[in-house]
Amino acid sequence: MLKQAQYWLLLKVSKTPRLFTYGAGAIVAVLLLMVSAATVFRVDQSRIASQQTQAMQTAQALVAETTDLLNQLVINNNTSCESEHLIHLNALLMRTRFIREIGVLDKEGRLVCSTTMGQLPLPVIGHYPAITTRSGRQVLIDVPLQVANKKVKATIVRQGQFNVVISPYLTDSLYASADVVWLHTPDGLKPLKAISTSSDTFAQLRRQVQSQHASTWLLSGSGYEQITMRPEMSWVFQTQRSIGAIMRDNSVLLVSMLISTLLIAVLAVGTLTPHVLRLRGVEHRVRFLCDEAHIVLMYQPFFDLKSNRLAGCEVLMRLKEGKHIWMPDQIIPAVLRAGLAHRFDHAVTRKAIRELYSHLPVQERVFIMALNFFPESIERATLMPILQEALSGTPRDDIDILIEITEHSVSNTLITEVEGFKAGGFQIAIDDFGTGYSNLKLVTQLSPDLLKIDQSFVFELEDAAVRSTLIPEIVHIAEAVGALTLAEGIENIDQANLLAAMGVRYGQGYALARPMDLDRFLAFLDADA
């Protein structure tokens, strides 16, 4: 199943390489966009978390300072508005960082004097929203004050007959650090400051905080929520971030990452293109094609040049991949590079024997079936069992198998292997004879049954070129080793007649018969009979 999937993918890539390349580039772009989005998301979340952490640290310092000062004032319990006491209060105020004013209240909770206004002509009481903390202090929110000729809304903390005004600039900064700043009170969670939102959304925000017990962040819709809290603090900071807000606030980073993504995707396409285009070649898929299902056999007849009778055929192969046919000059290099010579030759052998032995009519004379093999396939240990198994199913006495080996591959090692095949009843031919460098001694030791004269000699035959004059010498060599000769590449009848006159026994070429599939070959035999 995995092999089928691999082959399917390679085949699809070979047919539409550019589509695959652009698709791969698009996938790279999408993945990088996802990484970019996650990075921007994480950067934004880290920034908000850091912002809230700093705000929490400031709030903690503010609470500590306010608690210390109010506790000191309550313990001393000096509610005098005399100048000497107000000077003392101002001295205390000067030692604080976050408090801008100290006020003194009467027993009815009315302001009677402060460090800024001194003693008031009449006591003042304000009706402002107040939150009672767990420690019993009251926090008044959005109290209008005049600070440096500027109207501001301040936060006031009251304990006993004293209150302190927190720096409006500090509280504005704290409140701006989150969408909602909550305060844990005896009556539950109360908002110190909150963005304007619907009651449903506000209730949802409250529930989210109530369900948490430590700082965290939560996915929320297409965005997230950041919640910062500490066990020792009553304050809670909560921010809800939408995808739009994240993109808006990180637009520079987002644009730079988008540009980088585009450049990387283009680079990926440029890098992949030459590699993918090379996948169009059969060498990347040949390992899936070396079987009988993809092998197409062609049969080219050869004839006795004296009698003009059919003597046999050479088995030629093609590879069929879908509707495409791969020719030998494309297949052979790919097979060799992939180390598939044995597997390929064995598949061709099995199919050729099965087809011819099953369909060839009984012959009056012995019919020669020539099979080509890669040199490395000529091994008795591996090839002989394949031949014997294929022949065992369809025994024929009227067919001889001729094993062809190229002259280039003739060696002492090969001679030893060939002897075993000759002993097994198989004939041996040296293909492309005259193009290699084998000496007469090696040819004699090989003792072939047939020497196939390379077609390059035949091409120059009619011009009486030097090369063609060697044909009689090849015939003499064949006679010396007890072999017959076959000339390849005959393109006209004149060449056939000249070769016959030179003593060449068999001829093969387009002038006599072209390669044909099994059905046409059988029809050709029937017509020739």
The CATH number of the domain where 386 resides is what? Answer: 3.20.20.450
Q: What CA–CA distance (Å, rounded) separates 188 from 236?
A: 12
Q: What's the mean pLDDT when you consider all of the chain? A: 87
| Residue 302 and residue 442 in one domain | yes
pLDDT of residue 410 exceeding 90, the answer is no
Q: What CA–CA distance (Å, rounded) separates 20 from 11?
A: 11
| Residue 151 and residue 233 in one domain | yes
What is the tally of structural domains in the chain?
A: 2
| Residue 242 and residue 303 in one domain | no
Say if 257 falls within a structural domain.
Answer: no
| Residue 48 and residue 188 in one domain | yes
Q: What is the pLDDT of residue 4?
A: 65
Say if 38 falls within a structural domain.
Answer: yes
Per-position DSSP letters for 412-470, written without gaps between them: HHHHHHHHHHHHTT-EEEEEEETSS---HHHHHHH--SEEEE-HHHHHTTTTT-TGGGG
| Residue 365 and residue 241 in one domain | no
Tokens at residue 315, please? Answer: 């088995």
| Residue 59 and residue 199 in one domain | yes
Q: Position 1: which residue type? A: M
pLDDT of residue 148 exceeding 80, the answer is no
Say if 284 falls within a structural domain.
Answer: no
| Residue 245 and residue 302 in one domain | no
Is 7 in contact with 267 (CB distance < 8 Å)? no
Q: Percent of the chain scored above 70 by pLDDT? A: 91
Tokens at residue 291, please? Answer: 């079987």
| Residue 165 and residue 308 in one domain | no
pLDDT of residue 275 exceeding 70, the answer is no
pLDDT in tens, 60-114: 999 999 999 999 999 999 999 999 999 999 999 999 999 999 999 999 999 999 9
Q: What CA–CA distance (Å, rounded) separates 172 from 166?
A: 10
Q: Which of 366, 383, 385 is nearest to 374 (CA)?
A: 383
Q: What is the pLDDT of residue 276?
A: 63
The stretch 36-53 carries a mean pLDDT of 92
Q: Which residue has the higher pLDDT, 16 or 37?
A: 37
| Residue 20 and residue 140 in one domain | yes
Sign of the four-CA dihedral 316, 321, 324, 327: negative
**Residue 199, H or E segment:** helix 199-210
Place of tokens 């934004």: 44
Domain of residue 498, residue span: 298-315+346-528
Q: What CA–CA distance (Å, rounded) separates 139 from 142?
A: 10
Per-position DSSP letters for 363-393, written without gaps between them: PSSPEEEEEE--GGG--HHHHHHHHHHHHHH
| Residue 409 and residue 469 in one domain | yes
The stretch 336-345 carries a mean pLDDT of 90
**Residue 526, H or E segment:** helix 518-528
| Residue 234 and residue 310 in one domain | no
Q: What is the pLDDT of residue 78?
A: 94
Sorted by sequence, the CB contacts under 8 Å of residue 436 that are 6+ apart come out as 406, 407, 408, 410
pLDDT in tens, 458-517: 887 766 666 667 889 999 999 989 999 999 999 999 999 999 999 999 999 999 999 999
Say if 327 falls within a structural domain.
Answer: no
Q: What is the 3-state secondary structure (H, E, C) of 484-497?
A: EEEECCCCCHHHHH
**Residue 235, H or E segment:** strand 235-241
Q: What CA–CA distance (Å, rounded) separates 118 from 141?
A: 23
Q: What is the pLDDT of residue 10?
A: 56
Q: How far from the centroid of its chain's Cα atoms is residue 445's Cα?
A: 56
Say if 68 falls within a structural domain.
Answer: yes
Q: What is the pLDDT of residue 195?
A: 78
Say if 169 falls within a structural domain.
Answer: yes
Say if 93 falls within a structural domain.
Answer: yes
Q: What CA–CA distance (Å, rounded) separates 165 from 149?
A: 16
pLDDT of residue 24 exceeding 80, the answer is no
Q: What CA–CA distance (Å, rounded) separates 204 from 227?
A: 13
| Contacts of range 340-345, beta carbons closer than 8 Å, 24 or more positions apart | 340/286, 340/287, 340/290, 341/374, 341/376, 341/377, 342/374, 342/376, 342/377, 342/379, 342/382, 342/383, 343/290, 344/290, 344/374, 345/373, 345/374, 345/377, 345/383
Place of tokens 């996650």: 38
Say if 320 falls within a structural domain.
Answer: no
pLDDT of residue 8 exceeding 70, the answer is no
Q: What CA–CA distance (Å, rounded) separates 33 from 417?
A: 62
Tokens at residue 238, please? Answer: 């909560």
| Residue 390 and residue 492 in one domain | yes
> Can you give the C-alpha Rg of the chain in angstroms?
49
Q: Position 230: which residue type? A: R
- The burial class, CB within 10 Å (0-12 / 13-18 / 19+), for 209 is middle
Sign of the four-CA dihedral 294, 300, 301, 306: negative
Q: Which of 33, 51, 32 is nearest to 217 (CA)?
A: 51
Domain boundary among 234, 249, 264: 249
Q: What CA–CA distance (Å, rounded) separates 63 from 99?
A: 11
